[in-house]
Structure 1
Amino acid sequence: MKIFYIIVISSLIVSCMGLNRKLLPNEKLDSIEIQNHKRTYIVHYPKKWDGSPISLLVALHGRFGSGSTMIKQTKLDLLADLKGFIVVFPDGYKRSWADGRGNTPADENQINDIVFIESMVKRLIAEGSVNPKQVFLVGHSNGGFMAQRLAAEKPDLWKGVVSVAAQISVFTLKRKLALKSNPVSIGIIAGTDDPLVPYSGGYVRDGGEILSVEDSIQRWKEWNSCNNSVAKKTQVFKEDLADIHIDFYRYESCAENTKVGLIQLNGLGHSWPGETPMIPFIDQGKTTKVLDGSKLVWDFMESL
């Protein structure tokens, strides 16, 4: 009987997380062989696409997630249909990314996610469906740290990169300083009350030392040779008779027409803005339904 309950509970978790999601007619499941591992990813093409090269967004899930859960979590597939871009949802190794902090299964097994993601993007470009000058990247949590690493190590691949609930890790800082790579437009979306990834920096529960959000923005400003001129605005959203204040900071006078942006989610936690947390046994802090994290991400990308 105990085994039966374990199976039922596991099935419910899988169902809730979207791991059993069926592909749509305008989607395909593809794979690449990297380090003797079959690395899979879902490609979602916009419904009204005419086949010409268009923008691509790579979306990296968080720890314990998958490409399918990232679709359910973010609804970026629906936004892609509306805005007319391709979005690809890769699967991490054992639901994790080798972002360099050391404690994920991908890091522990020395998985080369840099090669995997770069190979995936170059394959889509070679197929003729993607405009190579319009390739974007977003990641959440573990995927956000991976996005920061990819921005530091492969900046020429991306027109813009956004990390959600993740900033620069000490590992990525050292890699960036060693590589002295080119500027790239960067956005960070972060909750000030994130219980998993501290806004003020320090150590993350799943391992690794990280910079604060403010220090991360300052570093990207320096690397992109931005001046101190900042455009700032605040938006107030009503939810459950309370106000949610969102601060937007944008540094637009940077080298090679790059930009650095921060969307500060005051009082909010770790979850993708607007989603229901898919891992109920982990406290992710305060959530909200009045924000659309995917729209915030694509608004930044469209401004570049």
Structure 2
Amino acid sequence: MNKFYIFLFYFVLSFFSCMGFFYKLTPNQKNDFFLLNDVKRTYLVHYPKNWNGLPIPMLVALHGRFGTGISMMKQTKLNELADAKGFIVIFPDGYKRSWADGRGSSPADENSINDVVFIESIVKRMVAEGSVNPSSVFLVGHSNGGFMAQRLAVEKPELWKGVMSVAAQLSVFLLKSKHKYKTIPVSMGIMAGTADPLVPYSGGYVRDGKEILSVTDSILRWKEWSGCNDSVQKNTKEFQEENDVIKIDFERFDSCEENKVVELIRLNGLGHSWPGETPMIPFINQGKTTKVIDGSMLVWEFMESIK
């Protein structure tokens, strides 16, 4: 990377940092924080408009590498979906724009940050506040946040009614560490683009991390861990985008232990970006993007489908 692109990279990061710094909270939002091992960890809470104060579902949304809670909100518009559907959404901030997903190369991993405890603490605080139905807590993550979401599903499965990983699959680190944790079935979804240039659909190595499984192998592992049988429901949806047709394949295992489900949402021909978003770091090749698919709605439809 030459000096111009290095400058441009940090300029873009600084720009979006300023966007977050100057973001004005709405009346139904608040910032909060924890001090964990003398490190201040921050997060934004978005309560749905017209909420009556009774316990409701909650979704925790983890941004990707170089993101923030506010950038995740702007990318996904999950706050707007929360208003429409009536759930709370939490946008945490990673340590130095990263999560300790276990692969070893993020600032959070390198500094031994305990993001499992951080996210668990947010959930427990919100439940104790009386805002959240503890049996309806969901988790979604994108990219580095998707790897982190799967780590949380392995290490703290009891917290989640459903988990979705977008543009991320199982890491070899997580596969090797799974035996340390009790096996509790988890409803897990993976949404992935088949032409992702950053996190290869077929597995291998990621630029900012270690070895990962393929999406197919990751789904089969979650199927095994959640005690699903081989019965799979398949469906395909087509979306027209100018002169192109984008196909999404759904493969769902819904005969699992404790009424759990495991689902693959295959985004044929698409890349690394959250479906429907405008990439926020445009000079990094993230593959084909689309405006005709609402990734946030796909996430929430998966969550709502869980019994």
CA contact (8 A) 1:18 1:72 kept: no
Counterpart among 33, 36, 39 of residue 37 in structure 1 = 39
Q: 2:53 is matched with which residue?
A: 51
Counterpart among 173, 189, 192 of residue 191 in structure 2 = 189
TM-score normalised to the size of structure 2?
A: 0.95
Q: 2:279 is matched with which residue?
A: 277
Q: 2:115 is matched with which residue?
A: 113
Q: 2:78 is matched with which residue?
A: 76
CA contact (8 A) 2:186 2:226 kept: yes
Q: 2:253 is matched with which residue?
A: 251
Q: 1:288 is matched with which residue?
A: 290
Unaligned runs of 5+ in 1: none
1:1-304 to 2 correspondences below 5 Å:
9=11, 13-14=15-16, 18=20, 20-304=22-306
CA contact (8 A) 1:169 1:210 kept: yes
d(CA) in 2 for partners of 1:11 and 1:291?
A: 26
Q: Return closer, same or farther for 1:38/1:15 CA change in 2, 3 Å cut-off.
A: closer
CA displacement, residues 1-30 of structure 1 (integer Å, 9 cap, x when unaligned): x9xx98x94587327965532211100000
Instruction: Tell me by how many angstroms 1:207 deviates.
Output: 1.4
**Paired amino acid for 1:104:** S
**Paired amino acid for 1:151:** A
What secondary structure does 2:174 align onto? Answer: helix
Which of structure 1's runs of 4+ aligned residues deviate more than 6 A? none
CA contact (8 A) 1:153 1:175 kept: no
**Paired amino acid for 2:148:** M
d(CA) in 1 for partners of 2:76 and 2:231?
A: 32
What secondary structure does 1:267 align onto? Answer: coil
Unaligned runs of 5+ in 2: none
CA contact (8 A) 1:168 1:211 kept: yes
CA contact (8 A) 1:29 1:43 kept: yes
What secondary structure does 1:181 align onto? Answer: coil
Q: How many residues align?
A: 301
CA contact (8 A) 1:153 1:181 kept: no
Instruction: Tell me by how many angstroms 1:163 deviates.
Output: 0.3
CA contact (8 A) 2:250 2:266 kept: yes
Question: How high is the sequence identity, in percent, across the aligned residues?
Answer: 70
**Paired amino acid for 1:182:** I
CA-based RMSD:
1.8
Instruction: Tell me by how many angstroms 1:180 deviates.
Output: 3.4
Instruction: Tell me by how many angstroms 1:175 deviates.
Output: 1.9
CA contact (8 A) 2:162 2:187 kept: yes
d(CA) in 2 for partners of 1:280 and 1:244?
A: 22
Q: Return closer, same or farther for 1:232/1:169 CA change in 2, 3 Å cut-off.
A: same
